[in-house]
Amino acid sequence: MAKGFRGGFGGMGGNMGAIMQQAQKMQRDIEVAKAEIDAMEVDATAGGGVVKIIISGTHEIKSLEIDPSAVDPEDVEMLQDMIIAAYNEAARKLAEISAEKMSKATGGAKLPF
């Protein structure tokens, strides 16, 4: 072995501990952010408010309200479209909030989740 070699990354030994601490803190922050997201509820409406949906942070439908005026037996397709639109809007909001929370947890680093 070369004289003076101590292993590690050539002078990074002292910094490696700090890097590991930062990584561990980021991991804890990510876990907290994921738990917050999972506990969230996001709502959205469609059709001028005649359809309202609430979804959880895990994308489960928690509540669906349909105003009786939206129920037209001759146009079931429009009601279906409004439900889909409300869900998609809630999912979009959830994705936006989730991305913001994760960005804060990772210090802006783009990590796959």
As assigned by CATH, the class of the 13-106 domain is: alpha beta
The predicted-structure confidence for 33-92, as pLDDT tens digits, reads as follows 999 999 999 999 999 999 999 999 999 999 999 999 999 999 999 999 999 999 999 999
Residue 30 — φ and ψ, nearest 5°?
-65, -45
What is the DSSP code string of 12-70? -HHHHHHHHHHHHHHHHHHHHHHHHHHH-EEEEEEGGGTEEEEEETTS-EEEEEE-GGG
Q: What is the pLDDT of residues 6-44, one digit of tens each?
A: 555 555 556 888 889 888 989 999 999 999 999 999 999
Write out the two tokens for 59. 């994308």
Q: What are the sequence ranges of the domains in the chain?
A: 13-106
Residue with tokens 């070699």: 5
Instruction: Report the SS3 class of residue 9.
Output: coil
